[in-house]
Amino acid sequence: DGGITQSPKYLFRKEGQNVTLSCEQNLNHDAMYWYRQDPGQGLRLIYYSQIVNDFQKGDIAEGYSVSREKKESFPLTVTSAQKNPTAFYLCASRASGAYEQYFGPGTRLTVT
Amino acid sequence: SQKIEQNSEALNIQEGKTATLTCNYTNYSPAYLQWYRQDPGRGPVFLLLIRENEKEKRKERLKVTFDTTLKQSLFHITASQPADSATYLCALDTSGGSYIPTFGRGTSLIVHP
């Protein structure tokens, strides 16, 4: 069953703690993306990676970090430097040469 | 400034009618535009892509139009069903055919039985 998975679905953390969100895909896609979605807002791009071992900052990268050591995996770390980390986080992947993105189910992060 | 506008108010229609959602943009010349469906608490699902040289695209009960002069895309769902109730996002290329689309905020569609 091909797809993109994110875990966990819900995540709770205390302020000041770093937290890592998982994103795995078995679609053999080269490109992967991380977005943040807040109520009433569009998806905002945090980081993206077009190929293994390479990634670029999106529009709101401050306070976040990523790695792309394997084609299948693109974890996102929300650091304590992110001022408003509570949000719905979406991971997506895309096949080379195609424009459409395939999204995971999302992780809802709550920081108190 | 560059903007993508989708109606923030929910669209309420009766089952069986045609739903029409609008995506307007300014200051872009997109090579393509996409529409996604998003259900509450879930990730968006790709529906249709239309390129700048295409006027219309269809897929089953869905139809998308793209008017680069008006800077507008219309998304139609014919014979709408309560199961079509969701938020619909438009996403368009904002940097010359790149693979990094910019997403609108989405419009909520509610189909009443």
**CATH entry, B1-7+27-46+87-113, from 3.40.50.720, 3.30.1360.40, 2.60.40.10, 1.10.1740.110:** 2.60.40.10
Q: Alpha helices, DSSP H only, in B3-111?
A: none
Pick the closest to residue B104 from B19, B21, B18, B11 (CA basis).
B21
Let me know the angle formed at the C-alpha of B7 by A102 and B92, rounded to the nearest 5 degrees. 40
Residue B96 burial class via C-beta count within 10 angstroms: exposed 0-12, middle 13-18, buried 19 and up: exposed
Residues of B in contact with A41 (CB under 8 A): 105
CA distance A15 to chain B (A): 23
Residues B1 and B21: beta-carbon distance below 8 Å:
no
Q: Where are the domains of chain B?
A: 1-7+27-46+87-113
Residue contact A99–B103, C-beta within 8 A: no
Average pLDDT over residues B7-29: 94
Residues of A in contact with B89 (CB under 8 A): 42-43
Residues of B in contact with A102 (CB under 8 A): 46
Residue contact B34–A43, C-beta within 8 A: no
Q: How far is CA A61 from each of CA A27, A57, B17, B63, B108, rounded to the nearest angstrom? A: 25, 6, 42, 35, 28
pLDDT recorded at residue A60: 96
Residues of B in contact with A43 (CB under 8 A): 44, 89, 91, 103
pLDDT recorded at residue A36: 97
- List average pLDDT for each run of 10 residues in chain A, which is 112 residues long: 88 93 97 94 94 95 97 96 94 94 97 92
Confidence of residue B103 (pLDDT cuts 50, 70, 90): very high
Please tell me which of the candidates A45, A100, A104 has its beta carbon nearest to residue B100.
Answer: A45
Residue contact B45–A106, C-beta within 8 A: no
